[in-house]
Structure 1
Amino acid sequence: MIELKKQLYNQCLEYVQSRLDAAQLAINEAQTASNNDTKSSAGDKYETGREMAQQEANRNMGQLKEANKLKIALNRISPNNIADTVDTGSLVLTDMANFYIAISAGTLKVNNSEYVAVSPFSPIGTKLKGLKAGDKFNLNEKNYLVKQVY
């Protein structure tokens, strides 16, 4: 199970890195566009374009900041830890779905099996926290049975 957790952890790292790269690229492109925007005789057009580029850069800086927060959250997880109660870094197998408690990264695939990477602070993450194999919980009018915790 540790090998599976490492694969899920690495997929989460790849997800965060792709978000970091995309945000950084967009920031660089916005900066380049702003620098290449030459002032024409229509001053208002120049100022409007510059303001739009600044807004885009600010939006991308926000995305970069969020991606960095995800990376920090991942850095606090050790995929080598195995526990019998659900906590951050746990792999949880239920009768309805499999969950990796780390960051919200969507569905991950390992060896043709699907695992949903969720934040410990998400609705499902908070429901799962502290549960053990054999425990049940309800979310969105669906009943779940925790089969295994790693």
Structure 2
Amino acid sequence: MDKQEILNHIKTKIADKIQHFENLIEETRASNNDTKSSMGDKYETGREMLQQEINNLQRQLNETLNQQTVLQKITADPSEKVQNGALVKTSKGLFYVSASIGEIILDQQKIMTVSAESPLVKAMFGKKVAETFTINNMTQNIENIW
């Protein structure tokens, strides 16, 4: 497994997501400016709804920027235990401890990206190959760590 390729793929996805949110915020702000009018309460309500949408997009952008910060601290160095940057193979699948962006597929392998804050990673954090952990009443065995 090439951890650098996985890390680069995730960084690209996060950068794309940041650009997407920034574009949406800019477009929403532009449409908010278009609704300025002296026509009354109906337009004020519309402007307030647009402002709430901008606030929601800003919150999502901030979360994505936090994920990017986490990624900047991760290296592709080999890991001997489950930690940030570890690629972990368990009896249930492949997990990359980094930023949680969901499932990615590289070299025909499904890899689930998970945050160190997720219950799964908390259950296996610090464990080594051949150790087991339990989550949701299911015991999993750590088969390999890269």
TM-score normalised per structure 1: 0.91
Q: How far apart, CA to CA, are the structure 2 residues paired with 1:57 and 1:149?
A: 41
How big is each residue's C-alpha offset from its partner over 1:1-40, in whole Å with a ceiling of 9 and x where there is no partner? 4xx2112112211221232122111111111101112414
Letter in 2 for 1:94: T
1:1-150 aligned at under 5 Å gives the runs 1=1, 4-40=2-38, 42-79=39-76, 81-150=77-146
Letter in 2 for 1:23: F
How big is each residue's C-alpha offset from its partner over 1:74-131, in whole Å with a ceiling of 9 and x where there is no partner? 001011x112111100011112111101011111111111111101110011112111
Partner SS, residue 95 of structure 2:
strand
Letter in 2 for 1:60: L
* Aligned residue pair count: 146
Let me know the Cα RMSD of the aligned residues: 1.3
Runs of 4 or more off by more than 6 Å in structure 1?
none
Deviation at 1:141, TM superposition (A): 2.2
Partner SS, residue 68 of structure 1:
helix
Q: How far apart, CA to CA, are the structure 2 residues paired with 1:37 and 1:6?
A: 47
Letter in 2 for 1:115: I
Letter in 2 for 1:95: S
Partner SS, residue 141 of structure 2:
strand
Letter in 1 for 2:22: Q
Q: How far apart, CA to CA, are the structure 2 residues paired with 1:90 and 1:38?
A: 51
Letter in 2 for 1:102: S
What stretches of structure 2 of length at least 5 have no aligned partner?
A: none
Q: How far apart, CA to CA, are the structure 1 residues paired with 2:137 and 2:58?
A: 38
